[in-house]
Amino acid sequence: MTDGLEFNVLAVDCEARAGRLVTAHGGIDTPCFMPVGTSATVKAMTPEMLVKAGAQMVLGNTYHLMLRPGAETVKQMGGLHRLMNWPHPILTDSGGYQIHSLARLRKLNENGVTFKSHIDGSLHQLTPESCMETQSLLGTDIAMALDECTGYPADVEVAEESMNLTTKWALRCREAFVSSPGRGVFGIVQGGMYAHLRQESAAALKKIGFDGYAVGGLSVGESRSERVEMTQVTSSLLPMEKPRYLMGVGKPLDIIDAVECGIDMFDCVLPTRSGRNGQAFTQWGVVNLRNARHKTDQQPLDSHCPCPTCTGYCRAYLHHLVKAREILGAMLLTWHNLYYYQDLMKRLRNAVIGGTFAAVADELRARFSWV
Ligand SMILES: [Zn+2]
């Protein structure tokens, strides 16, 4: 294996792609969905459950891990894969987004960002160089360059300044990243809701040259049409032969839209967070297990779903667990929701390979129009 990641596009249908990404910890079929494992755990799941749900790669949050247990500690424990007993691929984000959304007293300048931990108020600094170093200590397969997530809505001047900072940081990240076989770094396209800024950002990152490219700054409050337009504009400018990742998106409908634009990778807290809140994704819509109508319902959550939750448990039991705030309720619903998302990705992938993407996407859209 040579330095960096191996990625092959196996089929293209319209703009949608089916591919295979190979990292130091194994391969991933794309388009793929990465469950979010914020603090070295996908909440309520064991690694065995994740594998059974069909997950091939998880996402770790650099911000959370650098604060607790600390990147040095993770390194000392043999790296993130070993620590969390997940021997499969891991992508870590840069920490930038969480600093933006969680940290206190954030101070940003060209060198980097200084912030106070939301856990204990301790002072930390993240620069492009320390961001690469931290992700390297974690032992990630795919590191993300440090970016500044442009707020929404943002004036064009603000979006441009923010995008330019992201570009400068991207160059420093690329230079600081130490390449090795099966490990790579992705650049993040910003530019707010302005097509010309997205184009400028994508062109600059392409010139620097990354192992993959992410579309950042979406799912921040924009409309569906703005999201699709920005994804489409950005995706069309990215190199064909590199993976494309749409960060933090989203609902099943958003994923279908984005795969249609040529996106290969996704992450979102929705299936896991909904599961912990008593909500399940089914073919008929989102089912809220708190609802009293499930109290004596002996039917499974989704009679067509072959997941362990649907084959083993009835709605009445799930309703009871959720009402009683039992841990098992969160586990079983998260398990089903992740299975549901992985199944969606498989359907989209098979449609691209079979040359039936447009028809399958339309059918799925009609079915998912409620989510
Ligand atoms: Zn199920």
Q: Which domains does the chain have, with CATH numbers?
A: 6-268 (3.20.20.105)
Q: Return the amino acid letter for 103.
A: A
Would you say 151 and 98 are in contact if contact means Cβ atoms under 8 Å apart? Answer: no
Distance 351 CA to ligand 1 centre (A): 22
In sign, the C-alpha dihedral spanning 28, 34, 40, 45 is: negative
Beta bridge partners of 92: 60, 143
* pLDDT score recorded for residue 100: 80
Please compute the mean of the pLDDT values over residues 271-293 and round it to a whole number: 95
* pLDDT score recorded for residue 368: 73
Q: What percentage of the chain carries pLDDT values higher than 90?
A: 92
Distance 40 CA to ligand 1 centre (A): 25
Which pair of tokens denotes residue 40?
Answer: 């070295």
At 360 the three-state DSSP class reads helix
Which pair of tokens denotes residue 2?
Answer: 């040579």
Residues classed as catalytic: 93, 267
Distance 280 CA to ligand 1 centre (A): 9
DSSP string computed for 207-247: HH--SEEEE-S-SSS--HHHHHHHHHHHHTTS-TTS-EEET
Closest CA to 21 of 262, 346, 243, 342: 243
Beta bridge partners of 26: 23
* pLDDT score recorded for residue 369: 65
pLDDT of residue 269 exceeding 70? yes
| Rounded Cα gap, residues 365 and 356, in angstroms | 14
Distance 308 CA to ligand 1 centre (A): 7
For residues 31-40, one letter each, b for 16 or more C-beta atoms within 10 angstroms of the residue's C-beta and e for the rest, the string is: bbbbbbbbeb
Question: Comparing 63-77, 87-101, 129-143, 236-250, which segment has the lowest mean pLDDT?
Answer: 87-101
Note if the bond before 355 is cis, omega within 30 degrees. Answer: no
Distance 306 CA to ligand 1 centre (A): 6
Closest CA to 151 of 216, 201, 106: 216
Which pair of tokens denotes residue 216?
Answer: 């950042």
Distance 301 CA to ligand 1 centre (A): 6
Q: Return the amino acid letter for 186.
A: F
Closest CA to 150 of 251, 64, 219: 219
Please compute the mean of the pLDDT values over residues 139-154 and round it to a whole number: 94
pLDDT of residue 225 exceeding 70? yes
* pLDDT score recorded for residue 370: 59
* pLDDT score recorded for residue 294: 98
Measured from the Cβ of residue 273, the count of other Cβ atoms closer than 10 Å reads: 14
| Rounded Cα gap, residues 177 and 237, in angstroms | 24
Please compute the mean of the pLDDT values over residues 137-142 and round it to a whole number: 98
Q: What percentage of the chain carries pLDDT values higher than 70?
A: 99
At 31 the three-state DSSP class reads coil
Q: What is the pTM of this model?
A: 0.97
